[in-house]
Homo-oligomer: A and B are copies of this chain.
Amino acid sequence: MNRRDLIELGIGLVLVAAAAVAHFADATPVLAFGIAALAIAMLARLVGGATEQLGTRLGSSAAGVVQSALGNLPELFIALFALNQGLTRVVQSALVGSVIANSVLVLGLAFLVGGARNGTQRFESPRARMIATLTTLAATILAIPTLANAFHAPAAKHAETLSLFCAGVLLILFFVTLPGFLMGGHEKSGEPPRWSLRTTVGVLGGAALAAALVSDWFVTALKPATEALGMSEDFAGLVIVAIAGNAVENVVGVQFAARNRPDFAISVIVNSALQVALLLTPLIVFASLFFATSLTLVFPTLLAIVLLLAAAITSLVVYDGESTWEEGAILVGLYSVIAASFWWGA
């Protein structure tokens, strides 16, 4: 572990401790919620880093499986605790929000930072284009049950069945495409392992355990905190949960853009959105069957629409083959307008 790893680990420990204090000492919900969100974001980053270290030790094919399975742990924990409390809308908007946060906000920040530092960046790798295509296709599949529910009366009566069918198709597609494709996502970095196996497993286990604990506190504080702040559950899921649980982790993508490796930045960021659509979402749909209120893929209509728009835009900005900081600024602006649309509650 280098100095920076140790600093990150230290910050993680402090944030978890602070979240624990806020939770058990009955801090105001807003404070407890805010600290827990920061702690989760840091833990998601640590889990991401540790799975990547693990990946460098495994064959590339096993690495793909491990990274997909473990990298999404923090968001999975939050989803399970939220489902347990019946907060299905928060979970739905967090899933869609993860796709949007990555493919619009984080990608926008990568373009902004990369463009400001290095001028116009060109990316011509077919791999980045292919990931964008697959993400757009997967997001389209994900949006169909909602569209069917909103615009086709006969299907609306069978929302749950259609939703399970769709989740099954996504999961099959994940397992079918996993060996050949997703594994390729991280191997290109080509760096040797920086952590010993013992350290890697220790950090991974510790961070995952801490993520499970903090997720519980986070979800407990979520409802009172959002009410105190006047934000809707949709906004909490779409923006706060999605950014803390999934998107902050992809700051690494922004760093790649800053170091003028735009192809790799795009692959990392968009691949994360792809995994949410192909793996995490159907997994949670099936998991929800064991809870009192099950979760369907029938999202609030606007959520499905912005999912489609975000997916289309991802392909658009990747296909044009170059990025400028202006393009990044407009993406960030788009994200802010999408987020604002969900601020108000019912």
* Chain A interface residues toward B at CB < 8 A: 120, 122, 126, 129-130, 132-134, 136-138, 140-141, 144-145, 147-148, 150-155, 157-158, 162, 165-166, 169-170, 172-173, 176-177, 180-181, 232, 234, 300-302, 305-306, 308-309, 312-313, 315-317, 319-322, 324-327, 329-331, 333-334, 336-338, 340-346
Contact = CB atoms under 8 A, between A and B. Distances in A.
Among all A-B residue pairs, the 8 with the closest Cβ atoms = A152-B302, A148-B341, A177-B326, A151-B301, A154-B344, A137-B330, A151-B302, A129-B320
Given A308-B309, A315-B320, 8 more contacts: A126-B322, A129-B322, A134-B327, A140-B309, A151-B302, A152-B341, A154-B344, A319-B320
Given A320-B130, A344-B158, A333 B173 contact: yes
A333 B175 CA distance: 13
Contacts of A322: 126, 129-130
A133 B316 contact: yes
A150 B322 CA distance: 34
A162 B136 CA distance: 27
A253 B21 CA distance: 64
27 contacts: A126-B320, A130-B324, A130-B327, A132-B320, A137-B316, A137-B331, A140-B313, A144-B337, A147-B302, A147-B341, A148-B341, A151-B301, A151-B302, A151-B305, A152-B301, A152-B302, A152-B341, A154-B234, A154-B344, A154-B346, A157-B344, A158-B343, A169-B336, A176-B329, A177-B329, A180-B325, A315-B316
A137 B342 contact: no
A174 B133 CA distance: 29
A169 B338 CA distance: 11
Contact of A333 (B172, B181, B313, B336): B172
Nearest to A340: B165
Nearest to A170: B333
A130 B319 CA distance: 10
A92 B147 CA distance: 19
A145 B302 CA distance: 11
A64 B166 CA distance: 40
Q: Which of A180, A326, A327 has the most CB of B within 10 A?
A: A326
A145 B130 CA distance: 31
A325 to B, nearest CB: 7
Nearest to A133: B320
Contacts of A324: 130, 180-181
